[in-house]
Structure 1
Amino acid sequence: MRFAAPAAALAMVLAITASVGSGAERVSDPRAAALVAEGRAALAAGQPEKAVDAFEAALTVDPGDTGIVLELAEAARRNGLQGKAIRYYRSALARDPANLAALSGEGAALVEKGAVDKAKRNLARLQSMCGDGCAETRSLAAAIAKGPQARVLTAEAVLPDATVTQQN
């Protein structure tokens, strides 16, 4: 019984210390920041494959940085890999469910893939979180208004009907 008060005080100090430590601003690794800058430059140069490589390397260096995951998702979208981009956006949303950029990006990727109804759900969430005036809401609304991308027809999809005739 005489240890109850000191134990409670110690538990309180540990709880406060833990909450202060987790609320601190996150500092990005400088190596990851250099790789992110390299990836952004590659995206600006129209080289999404190089950008993906740089962002994946940055994510390896600093796996806790949600911003890198968002950059990787954007590079995947520009590379035409909307499904992969959606997976990255959902990973960012699992880390931070209130991430407006991830919600908007996922919605835009969904529109590009043709899932406009799902994108409208993201738009509704964005409108409830930040209203119609924030940039993410306007961006997703514009993507929905533009509609899905036109499908690219491949040569395999247009193979001629093969008919076999027997020659005598």
Structure 2
Amino acid sequence: MRYAPIAAALSLLIAVNASVGQGAEPEADPRAAVLIAEGRAALEAGEPQEAVDAFEAAFAVDPAYTPILLDLAYAARRQELQGKAIRYYREVQARDPRNFAAIAGEGEALIEKGAIEKARSNLARLESHCGANCPETLALAERLETGAQPRMVTAESLLPDPIIIQN
């Protein structure tokens, strides 16, 4: 009984200390930061393969920097490689199960792949961890509501565009 106030204060101190130690992502290696910037510029220029190359080089330099995986996932989605993007998002979640950007990104990739029910489970995870008004939750809910249809692959869509020769 005499030790109860001391034990309560000590447990509060440990809880506060543990929560302060988590949170901020460490800075990227400066060499990786340059490559990340190149990759993001390539994405903006509409060159996803060049972006992937830059991000993979950055990841080789600094494999502990998790945001590179998010960039790789987004670049893979731009190349319409949703399965690869989902693997990157899951790697982020293995490192940090509460990474809301990875959960939402995986949900969007699942929608693009046509796995609507799996995307709904990602939305439920976001709602339970982040809340209903979290930006990631709202974005994924909107994407689900718009009813993104799975891509239809037809024989015509696989043919190259015709070449027009002008004299």
For normalisation by structure 2, the TM-score amounts to 0.76
Which residue of 2 is the match for residue 75 of structure 1? 75
Tell me how far 1:83 sits from its aligned partner.
Answer: 0.4
- Which runs of structure 1 show a deviation greater than 3 angstroms over 4 or more consecutive aligned residues? 22-25, 154-158
Unaligned runs of 5+ in 1: 1-18, 159-168
User: 1:66 Cα deviation (Å)?
Assistant: 0.8
Give the number of the structure whose alpha-carbon radius of gyration is greater: 1
Aligned to 1:151: 152
Contact 1:116 1:148 in 2 (8 A): no
Aligned equivalents of 2:154, 2:48: Cα separation in 1: 22
Q: How does 1:13-32 map to 2 (within 5 A)?
A: 26-32=26-32
Q: Residues of 2 paired with 1:157 and 1:45: CA distance?
A: 25
Structure 1: how far apart are the matches of 2:26 and 2:158? 49
Distance 1:126 1:156, change over 3 A: closer
| Percent identity for Structure 1 against Structure 2 | 58
SS at match of 1:58: helix
Q: Within 1, Cα distance between the matches of 2:74 and 2:41?
A: 13
Shift, 1:65, TM fit: 0.9
Q: Give the residue type in structure 1 aligned to 2:79.
A: N
- Give the aligned partner of residue 94 of structure 2: 94
Deviations 1:82-119 (A, max 9, x none): 00000000011001000000000000000100100000
Q: Kindly state the Cα deviation for residue 132 of structure 1 after the two structures are TM-superposed.
A: 1.6
Superposition TM-score, scaled by structure 1 size: 0.76
Q: Tell whether 2:135 aligns with 1:135.
A: yes
Looking at structure 1, the residues matched to 27 and 157 of structure 2 have their Cα atoms a distance apart, in angstroms, of: 49
Give the equivalent residue in structure 2 for 1:162.
none
Residue type of the alignment partner of 1:106: E
Q: CA deviation at 1:152?
A: 2.9
Letter in 2 for 1:150: R
For residues 123 and 46 of structure 2, what CA distance do their matches in structure 1 show? Answer: 28
CA distance in 2, matches of 1:54, 1:32: 9
Q: Quote how far apart the aligned CAs of 1:62 are.
A: 0.3
* Deviations 1:135-163 (CA, angstroms, capped at 9, x unpaired): 111111122123234323245989xxxxx
Distance 2:51 2:113 in 1: 21
Residue ranges of structure 2 left out of the alignment (5+ in a row): 1-17, 160-167
Q: C-alpha deviations, 1:21-77, integer Å up to 9, x for none?
A: x85862310010110000000000111111100000000000011100000000000
User: Could you tell me which amino acid in structure 1 is paired with residue 26 of structure 2?
Assistant: R
CA change 1:25–1:143 in 2 (3 A) is closer
SS at match of 1:46: coil
Question: Structure 2 CA distance, aligned partners of 1:156 and 1:141?
Answer: 29
